[in-house]
């Protein structure tokens, strides 16, 4: 490999590494406003140790997907299921042999487009749910003590 | 600028299949992983890194210096990886005993058929299974740091020390290729692995270049399936950028493929964060 051959290649790789580092910085910067998506371990531990007030989280439904698909909350927290799609949905708890994982969770009726169904989780556990209209559209709420 | 679309599509198909299958596998494995705290970067001590680096150095040295021992080690290690990865994937659809038998069958077929198509099918299953399990065990930020560190390492190992190229050559000589073997137009996927020579009608995409973006997607499945999908979609233009750099080299030679793929993969993660998906 000649010197004249190496220089532009070295510059290219240096540029790629610098942009990579820039992106990591941007992830850390923008991740502050989205700690769930950009959690870094500290978010997990601090949430476990601090005395805390109940919070409300939102799960958005659109394009056949619940987002975040898996959400971690604590006992006493509320989760709002917001229907951002053009069709009504009905959110119900997954069940085993006809027994729901979380009795009382199911939305009483359909959640029309641009509407919200809210539920406060009173017990710890891992609760799966799905849209009755399409059982393949599912998500999980992890409720910690 | 040269763009060989036909070549790119041939690379993209196994790469894309691995990402899709890996995310699906992670989604299916998730209930078993929910009780496990994913590993943060701070959980690795300096001693852990030293042990890992020492193991890697010894492995590379033995593989390159003592070719016979290296050849046996490569083959054994590859067989173990194929069995583990395919067993994890079959486990999605079948009972443990059936999935173990099927994984064993794939491993045996892999060693008996030894052609390009079997190599690539086995690799899709292997990398998807291992990537899904590893990704679910890590925090997304940990994977980001891993991507940056290994991108930097890839450049040094290919262009500065050259040991990555020697290692790849040793693997090809021992016919234990950790990656996809991509036939260029005019070549058939039924060719025996023993007749494959990179640069002469075949390209090789290393397993690391495929599994690292999958680690990030799989780690995001814990939080948002949509974000995982966005990251996987962004890794494809990363693959295209890698292909453009590769095809536009003055002379055709091995290149560090991970940095451009990692670049666009992390950009996908950034987009997911900013879009609040």
CB contact under 8 A, A20 and B266: yes
Cβ pairs bridging A and B (under 8 Å): 109
Give the pLDDT mean for B161-175. Answer: 84
Residues in chain A with CB shorter than 8 Å from the CB of B30 are 70, 140
Q: Does B141 touch chain A (CB under 8 A)?
A: yes
For residues B67 and B226, which has the higher predicted lDDT (pLDDT)? B226
| pLDDT confidence tier of residue B233, bands split at 50, 70 and 90 | very high
The two tokens of residue B2 are 């040269």
pTM: 0.72
| pLDDT confidence tier of residue B74, bands split at 50, 70 and 90 | confident
Q: Does B94 touch chain A (CB under 8 A)?
A: no
Rounded to an integer, what distance in angstroms lies between the CA atom of residue B154 and that of residue B159?
8
Q: Does B244 touch chain A (CB under 8 A)?
A: no
CB contact under 8 A, A12 and B159: no
Q: Does B271 touch chain A (CB under 8 A)?
A: no
Chain B: residue nearest A65 by CA? B226
Domain borders along chain B are 5-34+71-274
CB contact under 8 A, A70 and B221: yes
Pick the CATH number of A53-144 from 1.20.1270.360, 3.30.300.30, 3.20.20.80, 2.60.40.420: 2.60.40.420
For residue B198, the tally of other CB atoms under 10 A from its CB is: 17
Average pLDDT, rounded, for chain A? 77
For residue B165, the tally of other CB atoms under 10 A from its CB is: 15
Name which of B267, B248, B242, B23 is nearest B124 in CA terms.
B23
* Predicted pLDDT of residue A74: 85
CA pseudo-torsion sign A99, A102, A104, A107: negative
* Predicted pLDDT of residue A36: 57
Domain borders along chain A are 53-144
Rounded to an integer, what distance in angstroms lies between the CA atom of residue B17 and that of residue B15?
6
A62 burial level (CB within 10 Å; 0-12, 13-18, 19+) = middle
Q: Does B51 touch chain A (CB under 8 A)?
A: no
Is the pLDDT score of A137 beyond 50? Answer: yes
Give the pLDDT mean for A77-99. Answer: 85
Residues in chain B with CB shorter than 8 Å from the CB of A40 are 40-41, 139, 141
Give the pLDDT mean for B112-130. Answer: 93
- Among A40-44, B46-50, B172-176, top mean pLDDT goes to B172-176
What is the tens place of the pLDDT at every residue in A14-69?
888 899 999 989 888 887 666 555 554 444 443 344 456 788 888 999 888 898 88
């Amino acid at each position: 490999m000649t010197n004249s051959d190496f220089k532009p290649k070295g510059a290219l790789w240096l540029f790629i590494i610098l942009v990579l580092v820039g992106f990591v910085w941007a992830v850390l910067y923008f991740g502050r406003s989205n700690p769930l998506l950009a959690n870094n371990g500290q978010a997990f531990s601090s949430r476990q140790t601090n005395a805390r007030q109940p919070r409300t989280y939102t799960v958005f439904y659109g394009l056949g997907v619940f987002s975040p698909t898996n959400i971690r909350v604590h006992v006493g927290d509320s989760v709002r299921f917001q229907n951002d799609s053009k069709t009504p949905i009905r959110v119900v708890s997954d069940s085993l042999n006809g027994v729901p994982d979380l009795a009382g969770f199911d939305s009483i009726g359909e959640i029309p487009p641009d509407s919200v169904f809210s539920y406060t989780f009173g017990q710890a556990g891992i609760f799966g749910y799905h849209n009755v209209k399409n059982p393949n559209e599912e998500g999980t709420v992890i409720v910690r003590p | 600028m040269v763009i060989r679309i036909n070549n790119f599509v041939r690379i993209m198909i196994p790469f894309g299949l691995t990402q899709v299958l890996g995310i699906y596998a992670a989604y299916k494995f998730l209930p078993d992983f929910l009780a496990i705290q994913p590993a943060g970067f701070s959980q690795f001590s300096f001693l852990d890194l030293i042990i890992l680096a020492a193991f890697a150095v010894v492995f590379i040295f033995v593989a390159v210096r003592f070719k016979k021992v290296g050849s046996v080690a490569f083959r054994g290690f590859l067989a173990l990886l194929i069995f583990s990865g395919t067993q994890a994937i079959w486990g999605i659809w079948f009972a443990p005993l059936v999935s173990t038998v099927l994984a064993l069958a794939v491993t045996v077929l892999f060693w008996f058929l030894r052609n390009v198509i079997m190599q690539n099918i086995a690799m899709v299953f292997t990398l998807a299974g291992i990537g899904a399990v590893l990704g679910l065990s890590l925090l997304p930020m940990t994977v980001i740091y891993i991507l940056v560190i290994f991108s930097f390492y890839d450049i040094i190992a290919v262009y500065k020390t050259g040991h990555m190229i020697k290692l790849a050559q040793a693997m090809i000589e021992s016919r234990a290729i950790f990656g996809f073997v991509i036939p260029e137009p005019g070549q058939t996927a039924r060719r025996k692995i023993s007749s494959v020579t990179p640069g002469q009608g075949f390209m090789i995409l290393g397993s690391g270049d495929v599994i690292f973006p999958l680690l990030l997607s799989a780690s995001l499945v814990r939080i948002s399936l949509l974000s995982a999908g966005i990251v996987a979609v962004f890794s494809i233009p990363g693959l295209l950028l890698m292909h453009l750099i590769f095809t536009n080299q003055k002379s055709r030679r091995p290149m560090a493929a991970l940095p451009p793929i990692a670049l666009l993969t992390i950009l996908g993660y950034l987009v997911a964060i900013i879009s609040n998906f």
